[in-house]
Amino acid sequence: MPEFEAFSAVRDFIETGGDVLLVVALVTFAMWLLILERYWFFNWVHPKNADRIQVRWDARQDHYSWNAMQIRQLLLTESELEVDRGLQLIKSLVALCPMLGLIGTVTGMIEVFDVMAIAGTGNVRGMAGGVSRATLPTMAGMVAALSGLIFSVQLERRAKRENQLMVDRLVITHEQALD
């Protein structure tokens, strides 16, 4: 049963890395849910929202008065808020992953020092367990942060591009000024 073997390997990995590894996994899972949600938003939801905003702007007769400019700014701000939603949280979770890994380092090293205090430096197996408990969460936190960082930068670029495209869509042409 390969499924059981995979589950067993993950369980052993988490036991070796300690409880902090579970927290890193949960934060990573939440981060990736948010990243996937943003990709879904950009590919399927945002185009419809942008078209709807464009229709609302085009339906206006007046595009030059102070009121029209305020309505245009409101439409752009609404779009920007939708596009940027969740990006700061993703960046925060990316930054949190290595910090959690460092907590794992500290707890693992405390275990090493406990073994050294009780058994002295002769218990290599006990010290190795603490070192692996210190190393695995650090590595997992760094890997999670790097993977999240790559995609969060891509999402930020996409958000800036989509915001600029929306500004460009609501530009008033010279022909509209002559009407």
Q: Domain residues of the chain, as ranges?
A: 2-172
For residues 109 and 18, is the Cβ–Cβ distance under 8 A?
Answer: no
Please report, in tens digits, the pLDDT of each residue of the chain (179 residues total): 667 788 888 788 777 777 888 999 999 999 999 999 999 999 999 999 999 999 999 999 888 889 999 999 999 999 999 999 999 999 999 999 999 999 988 888 887 787 777 777 677 776 777 777 788 889 999 999 999 999 999 999 999 999 999 999 997 754 555 55
Q: Which of 136, 140, 118 is nearest to 127 (CA)?
A: 118
8: left (phi over 0), alpha (psi -120 to 50) or beta: alpha
